[in-house]
Structure 1
């Protein structure tokens, strides 16, 4: 359905530290800068792109938006959460936890305020 998701950042190096740490915790690879100065993460056919806004205004987080990231195991979700908090992210909502449907879920805000979740597939 999607070709990519792009979010804004006011500090690409800080975003790189955060996303490199969280995505490698899930078994992904560090991001790479493209020719336009965008930070790009590729994994299993998905692409997350992070950029400074082209209009020159500050990047802001989407109010009500959440980016969901697939994780294989509860240990991966916990590692993602721990790596995010250690690299400038903020733990939000509840601590990493199993949901009634059996999915293990954690939530973070990245250093720019974007809301993220990592979760395992539901079991029920």
Structure 2
């Protein structure tokens, strides 16, 4: 359904440190920088792009929005959460935990305030 997700950042180097660490924890590659200076992460067929807003105004986080990232195991989710908090992310919601549907989930806000979730597939 989606070709990519694009989010804004006010500090691309800070964002790169956060996303390089969190995607590495999931077994993903480091981000690439395109000709326009945007960070691009390819993972499991999806693309996450991070850019400074083209209108020149400050980037803000989506209120009510969450970007969900697939993780192969609960250990990967825990590593993602640890890498994120070690690289400027903020732990939110509950600690990483199994949900009633059998998925293992963790939530973070990136350094720009975007809400992220890493989760394993549900067992049901």
TM-score, length-scaled by structure 2: 0.99
Structure 2 stretches lacking a partner, 5+ long: none
Q: Residues 16-35 of structure 1 correspond to what in structure 2 (within 5 A)?
A: 16-35=16-35
Report the CA distance between 1:45 and its aligned residue: 1.5
2:39 corresponds in structure 1 to: 39
2:52 is the counterpart of 1:52? yes
Separation (CA, whole Å) in 2 of partners of 1:98 and 1:2: 27
Tell me the equivalent position of 1:101. 101
Task: Map residues 62-77 of structure 1 onto 2, 5 A cutoff.
Answer: 62-77=62-77
Deviation track 1:62-111 (CA, whole Å, cap 9, x = no partner) reads 00000000000000000000000000000000000000111000000000
Alpha-carbon distance between aligned partners in 2 of 1:74 and 1:44, rounded to the nearest angstrom = 17
What's the counterpart of residue 15 of structure 1?
15
Aligned counterpart, 2:85: 85
Q: Tell me the matched-pair count.
A: 124
Distance 2:75 2:86 in 1: 16
Shift of 1:44: 2.1
| DSSP 3-state at the match of 1:20 | helix
Runs of 4+ in structure 1 deviating by more than 6 angstroms, as ranges, are none
- Secondary structure of 2:61's counterpart equals coil
SS at match of 2:106: strand
Shift of 1:116: 0.1
Distance, in Å, in 2 between the alignment partners of 1:26 and 1:42 is: 12
How far apart, CA to CA, are the structure 2 residues paired with 1:44 and 1:117? 15
**Which residue of structure 1 lines up, in the alignment, with residue 5 of structure 2?**
5
Q: TM-score, normalised by structure 1?
A: 0.99
